[in-house]
Amino acid sequence: MATFYGTEVASRLMLGTAQYPSPAILADAFRRSGAGIATVSVRRESGGERAGAAFWDLVKELGVRVLPNTAGCHSVREAVTTAQMARELFDTPWIKLEVIGHADTLQPDPFGLVEAARILTDEGFQVFPYTTEDVVLADRLLEAGCEVLMPWGAPIGTGLGLTNIYGLRTLRAQFPDVPMVVDAGLGLPSQAAMAMEMGYDAVLLNTAVAKAGDPAAMAEGFARAVEAGRLAFEADPMEPRDMAAPSTPVIGKAFLE
pLDDT at position 253: 66
150 belongs to a structural domain: yes
Read off the CATH number of the domain in which 27 is found. Answer: 3.20.20.70
Measured from the Cβ of residue 158, the count of other Cβ atoms closer than 10 Å reads 18
Domains in the chain, number: 1
Query: How far apart, in whole angstroms, are the C-alpha atoms of residue 108 and residue 98?
Result: 7
206 is in an annotated binding site: yes
The catalytic residue among 60, 96, 211, 253 is 96
CA distances from 194 to 73, 121, 134, 211, 228 (A): 30, 31, 19, 21, 10
pLDDT at position 62: 84
pLDDT at position 71: 92
Please, which contacts does 51-60 make with residues 24 or more away whose CB atoms are closer than 8 Å?
Answer: 55/17, 55/23, 56/89, 58/23, 58/26, 58/27, 59/17
pLDDT surpassing 80 at residue 13: yes
pLDDT surpassing 80 at residue 97: yes
pLDDT at position 248: 76
Q: Using 50, 70 and 90 to split pLDDT, how confident is the model at 187? A: very high
110 belongs to a structural domain: yes
Q: What is the pLDDT of residues 117-147, one digit of tens each?
A: 999 999 999 999 999 999 999 999 999 999 9
254 belongs to a structural domain: no
Does residue 211 have an active-site annotation?
no
DSSP state letters, 77-124: HHHHHHHHHHHHHH--SEEEE--B--TTT--B-HHHHHHHHHHHHHTT
- Mean pLDDT, rounded, of the chain: 92
Residue ranges making up the domain that contains 6: 2-235
91 belongs to a structural domain: yes
pLDDT at position 43: 64
256 belongs to a structural domain: no
Asked if residue 196 lies in contact with residue 233, where contact means CB atoms within 8 angstroms, the answer is: yes
157 is in an annotated binding site: yes
Q: What is the pLDDT of residues 191-237, one digit of tens each?
A: 999 999 999 999 999 999 999 999 999 999 999 999 999 999 999 98
247 belongs to a structural domain: no
Q: What is the pLDDT of residues 31-69, one digit of tens each?
A: 999 999 999 987 655 554 555 667 778 888 888 999 999
Query: How far apart, in whole angstroms, are the C-alpha atoms of residue 247 and residue 33?
Result: 37
Highest mean pLDDT among 1-5, 62-66, 175-179, 247-251: 175-179
249 belongs to a structural domain: no
Asked if residue 86 lies in contact with residue 113, where contact means CB atoms within 8 angstroms, the answer is: no
Of 123, 64, 71, nearest in space to 96 by CA: 71
7 is in an annotated binding site: no
Q: What is the value of pTM for the model shown? A: 0.90
pLDDT at position 54: 76
71 belongs to a structural domain: yes
pLDDT surpassing 90 at residue 12: yes
